[in-house]
Amino acid sequence: MSENSGFHIQTVLILAIFALVFGLIHFFNKRQPFPGWVALAYSAALGAYIIDSTRHESTHVGFIFASTGLFWMFSLAIIKAIYVRCNAAFPSVLVGLILSSAITAFVVLTFVAPDISIRSVLVSVVAAILLALALPPLWKAGEKVIDGVLFGVIATVALIFVARIVVVYYLHGLSLTEQSYSQSEYAWIFHFTSGICALALAVVLLYAAGLDMVWHFHGQSNRDPLTGLLNRRGLKALFNASADQHPNGDLTRAVILFDIDHFKRVNDEYGHAAGDKVLQRVAKTASGLCQEQAEVARTGGEEFAILTGWIPFDSAQQLAQHICDSLRFVAHPELAADHKVTASFGLVALANGDSLNDAMDRADQALYQAKRNGRNQVALAQAA
């Protein structure tokens, strides 16, 4: 077996293994589409590599189109995976313009003015341009180290796709024909660099997928499965993360506890499924009104807690009152038309040295004062 044959077999196996691995990750974790797109990318790369590495002078033009299309699909699926992972809007119009222009040029260089040298340049340049489209969302999302690593690897791969053209055509002055392509220096460099780049990129993407799974399951342990809000554990982690921040001025953090009034009646009269719907709408309403000012958590059956950021205490009072006033206007189709869902609120400003439990205990006392006063209102806790 020649060295070239051994390299081709190794590359095919590597591409197949990564396509399978990413496919399995997606199969067992369908909520994360990122690995699915990477699996598609490596499946396309596998098909492109097999077709192009077995190409000869009598290869039908349809196979040439197929290998090129699959090679571009690799780049396209990679950038789609990155945009999905970064929760960014995919540039469909720009990608459509690039691909339509590239396909038109490829057809012209195949049938109208045949030139395999320029056509091979086109193949690599278009793939590089497509990959470069993955860089902006990674740059914007570059809070994590893995995002920076992905940015560097994808940028390097795109540069290699362009550099190999310069090396072969401009430094070596190589001219290709359909007859000489399969045994040419360009074909060897194309296959070698494609295999190495695919391997390097796959390793980083696999690491990113693994980190995403860890972050996802860690995040799930801090979330309430019914509402998607933080649970008590997640709220405590958030509290501890911001405990050392002390902005200047009259800013404070506040804890708002609220409890749905007469919620047991909802479950008893309409069933637990209806009660779950009510909880979800209350959670959505409260979190929507908090926006970036505060974070909402579900801390018990029908009990919720809100931890504000560093804001004036008056703003915390207004927020609590706004949520209280808004909840009774939320429609609940599962309940009788005259059944209004309300909640009682307890509000406390965090004092220096307060633990979350201390603040919640005082807010809880204020909440029960609101219930004793007639419910559907906000009560302020006594100063510590």
| Cα–Cα dist 230/335, whole Å | 26
Q: What is the CATH class of 3-220?
A: mainly alpha
pLDDT of 1? 47
Distances (CA, A) of 34 to 31, 209, 343: 9, 8, 40
pLDDT at 382: 73
The CATH H-level (homologous superfamily) assignment of domain 232-380 is: Reverse transcriptase/Diguanylate cyclase domain (3.30.70.270)
Residue 247: per-residue pLDDT: 64
What letter would DSSP give residue 379?
Answer: E
pLDDT digits (tens, 9 = 90+) for 85-136: 998 999 999 999 999 999 999 999 999 998 888 888 899 999 999 999 999 9
Q: Is the separation of the CB atoms in 255 and 305 below 8 Å?
A: yes
pLDDT in tens, 176-207: 666 667 677 777 888 888 889 999 999 999 99
Strands 254-260 and 343-349: antiparallel
Q: Which stretch of DSSP H or E encloses residue 324?
A: helix 313-327
Phi/psi at 259 (nearest 5 deg)?
-135, 130
Residues paired with 347 in a beta bridge: 256, 380
- The pTM (predicted TM-score) of the whole model is 0.66
- Give per-residue pLDDT as tens, 270-283: 999 999 999 999 99
Domain with CATH 3.30.70.270 in the chain: 232-380
Q: List active site positions.
A: 302
pLDDT at 354: 83
What DSSP designation does 312 have? -
Those residues of the chain that have pLDDT short of 70 are 1-4, 57-59, 168-180, 182, 218-220, 244-249, 383-384
44 neighbors 73 (Cβ within 8 angstroms):
yes
pLDDT computed for residue 58 by the predictor: 61
pLDDT of residue 173: 60
Least Cα distance to 22 among 34, 9, 10 occurs for 34
Alpha-carbon torsion (232, 234, 235, 236), positive or negative: positive
Task: CATH 1.20.1070 in the chain: give the residue spans.
Answer: 3-220
Question: Tokens in use for 308?
Answer: 């504000």
Task: Give the contacts of 45 (CB within 8 A, at least 6 positions apart).
Answer: 15, 19, 70, 71, 74, 194, 198
Tokens found for residue 91: 């540039």
Residue 232, classed as helix, strand or coil, is: helix
Cα–Cα dist 168/186, whole Å: 6
pLDDT of amino acid 115: 84
Q: What is the DSSP string of 129-157?
A: HHHHTTHHHHHHTTTSHHHHHHHHHHHHH
